[in-house]
Amino acid sequence: MANVSHTRGDITGHPDVSEMRARYARMLGGRDVVLMDGPVFLLGLYCAVSPWILHYTTSQPALVTHNLIVGIAIGLLGLGFTAAPARMYGLSWAMSALGVWMIVSPWIVGDSPDTGVVLNNIIVGALAVILGLLCAVAAARSAPKA
């Protein structure tokens, strides 16, 4: 009868240890920025609900729709960074562009916005720019060298 009992031990004696380590490294794909996926999603979620948190749904109806759409877009980028990092980290520049748009949008989309609305969009936009640039730099650093 074969010995099928599981013994706890060191995996270094396994005959395929080098192949398993290489596969594990490929699956991780050099994910240096995995800690930014959550904050990007939370930033998008906050951006989407911020008109209701700051109560400017009646004074700035155009910005309500705008922040909802841009917040959903940022949140979807965060989910994409988590689900398919190899494909999505190239779009981190798009997140930076969304952040710049968030900074200037109160004056373009809004109708004489007050200080709270402007500050909210500037802070959300600045955080999106910073997170987008950090993701882009990390993706460029971990890209294969040609």
pLDDT in tens, 28-83: 555 555 677 889 999 999 999 999 999 888 888 999 999 999 999 999 998 888 88
Please tell me the pTM assigned to this model: 0.75
Higher pLDDT, 101 or 144: 101
| CA torsion through residues 118, 123, 126, 132, sign | negative
Q: Which region among 6-15, 34-43, 117-126, 128-137 has the lowest average model confidence (pLDDT)?
A: 6-15
Distant-in-sequence, close-in-space partners of 31: CB < 8 Å, separation ≥ 6: 85, 142
Q: How far does CA 22 lie from the centroid of its chain?
A: 27
Structure tokens at 146: 């040609």
Q: What is the pLDDT of residue 33?
A: 52
| Confidence at residue 32, expressed as pLDDT on a 0 to 100 scale | 53
Dist CA 62 CA 91 (whole Å) = 26
User: Encoding tokens for residue 126?
Assistant: 């600045």
Residue 11 pLDDT more than 80?
Answer: no
pLDDT tier, 144 (very low <50, low <70, confident <90, very high otherwise): low
Number of residues written out for the chain = 146
The pLDDT-based confidence of 19 (bands split at 50, 70, 90) is confident
For residue 127, which amino acid is it? L
Q: What is the pLDDT of residue 111?
A: 87
More confidently predicted of 85 and 55: 55
**Considering the chain, what is the average pLDDT of its residues?**
83
Q: Which of 5-14, 17-26, 41-50, 99-108 has the lowest mean pLDDT?
A: 5-14
